[in-house]
Amino acid sequence: MSDADADATADAVGDGNPPVRRVSDWNAERLRGLAGEHETPLYVQDLDRVRESCERLLAAFPDADVRYAVKAHTGRAVLEAVRDAGLDAECASAGEVDRALAAGFGGSRLHYTAVNPPARDLDYVAGVAEAEPELTVTVGAVDTLDRLAERGYDGRVCVRVNPGVGAGHHEKVTTGGAAKFGIPYDRAAEATRDAAGRFDVVGLHAHAGSGIDPDQLDSHRELVARMGELARDLSEPSDRDGDDPRDADPIDLEYVDVGGGFGVPYEEDAPALDLPAVAEATREAVAPLPAGVDLAIEPGRYVVADAGVLLTRVNTVKPTPDETVVGVDAGMTDLLRPAMYDAYHPIRNLGGASGEPPVAEREATPVTVAGPICETGDTLGRNRALADPSRGDLLAVGVAGAYGYEMASQYNSRPRPAEVALDDGRAAVARRRETLGDLTTVEREADRDRTDRPEGDR
């Protein structure tokens, strides 16, 4: 795509669909109203913004298959919005496949990426494939193919390749060079040809990592170029034993999937990803694809990240000689990313403390925002200049829509928060707040099962 075309694409999407939504763009009064009604901690996920992000992706990659990596946010309302927008679903587990099916992603819109898959997941997916023979299983190890065959699966397969080049916002999410993922590049062609004897091999796949910044585009380009080369190699007959060039048929691929990882800016002043430029670089690097082979991408974060905020209430303000600690009611159990990856999330004081002036009239004060979990790592942000926070104020933690609720846990026996979905401006509870009773449901059910059994079986 030329620069002029890219501009035209941006224009077509229009100013109503900016490349990023900052935490400062959210309507403070609306958020205060939602927190008042539903209490905190509370996730708010705006489905209209999810739709806008789908539109931007489809506009930038008009000829590609766009698949949403559902692990970023599996909420039912989000999945349905993404389905209606026209994206497919990329699932990493039986649970994700189950959710995608329930949200209406059937047949060829369903992609299961098997990472070291537990037997239970393979059993489940092989069962689903009987009713949904158009689903595709992406496989990253040769013995996963054997395990599928043992279950009678002989359907659509995509071969995941370890491209030997990775990228990402943190080493823990840099995937491309990690031995865990994919068949080593040098062995991929042979493994694919072998697989074609047993399955309907339809695609090649690689994923560099998650949260790729604009300055990591070179790694992305390299990965994409390697995948294009592999696709071209496989579209030719193979001279396997060196004497007869016709002894292995070309592989009739449908697509080359170059993964997700499209980054979003977390810092308030970081630039938005230039999606049309990434799309152009991708198309250029993969070209020429053999006739009939499409490009595919599978973004997760990009679809949902800036569509979500986490609202949390200030419980305690503690000045100390070193810093002022603002204690809030959300922590690493609600949003794990800061504790796990040292990830930065913007934080904004929305005010609301009784008797305090509006935030616009308060002085910016550097504070540490800490959660209620008994771990030092349980901070949502350090040295943040917030409009002088007071007990009772509401804080909005921005860009929390991806890997936020999804990574929430019940550690410290904390019920998971509620989530509200905004749809065309209307708010509806998408996930109710968990109760203390929810924390012990599985124990109580185990107790009941045990006491239901005859005494000799216990």
Known catalytic residue at 54: no
Q: Which is nearer to ligand LLP, 167 or 370 (CB)?
A: 167
Q: Which is nearer to ligand LLP, 155 or 338 (CB)?
A: 338
Q: At its nearest, how many Å lie between ligand LLP and the CB of residue 110?
A: 14
Q: Which is nearer to ligand LLP, 305 or 422 (CB)?
A: 305
Phi, psi of 244 (to 5 degrees): -120, 105
Exposure pattern of 36-45 as b/e (b: 16+ CB <10 Å)?
eebebbbbbb
The full DSSP string for 143-163 is HHHHHHHHTT--SEEEEEEE-
Q: Which is nearer to ligand LLP, 199 or 262 (CB)?
A: 262
Closest CA to 106 of 128, 123, 124: 128
Give how far Cα 213 sits from Cα of 68, 208, 210, 339, 435, Å: 19, 12, 9, 20, 39
Taking the C-alpha atoms of residue 135 and residue 80, their distance in angstroms, rounded to an integer, is 18
Specify which residues 347 forms β-bridges with. Answer: 397
Specify which residues 276 forms β-bridges with. Answer: none
The residues that touch ligand LLP, with contacts defined as CB under 6 A, are 69, 72, 90, 113, 173, 175, 207, 210-211, 259-262, 298-302, 337, 341, 403
Phi, psi of 286 (to 5 degrees): -85, -20
Q: At its nearest, how many Å lie between ligand LLP and the CB of residue 305?
A: 8
Catalytic residue among 54, 91, 158, 374: 374
User: Is the omega angle on the peptide bond into residue 41 within 30 degrees of 0, that is, cis?
Assistant: yes
Q: At its nearest, how many Å lie between ligand LLP and the CB of residue 233?
A: 22
Q: Which is nearer to ligand LLP, 172 or 432 (CB)?
A: 172
User: Is the omega angle on the peptide bond into residue 319 within 30 degrees of 0, that is, cis?
Assistant: no
Q: Are 405 and 420 in contact (CB under 8 A)?
A: no
Q: At its nearest, how many Å lie between ligand LLP and the CB of residue 451?
A: 40
Q: Which is nearer to ligand LLP, 124 or 262 (CB)?
A: 262
Q: Which H helix or E strand runs over 349?
A: strand 347-351
Which residues participate in catalysis according to the annotation? 374
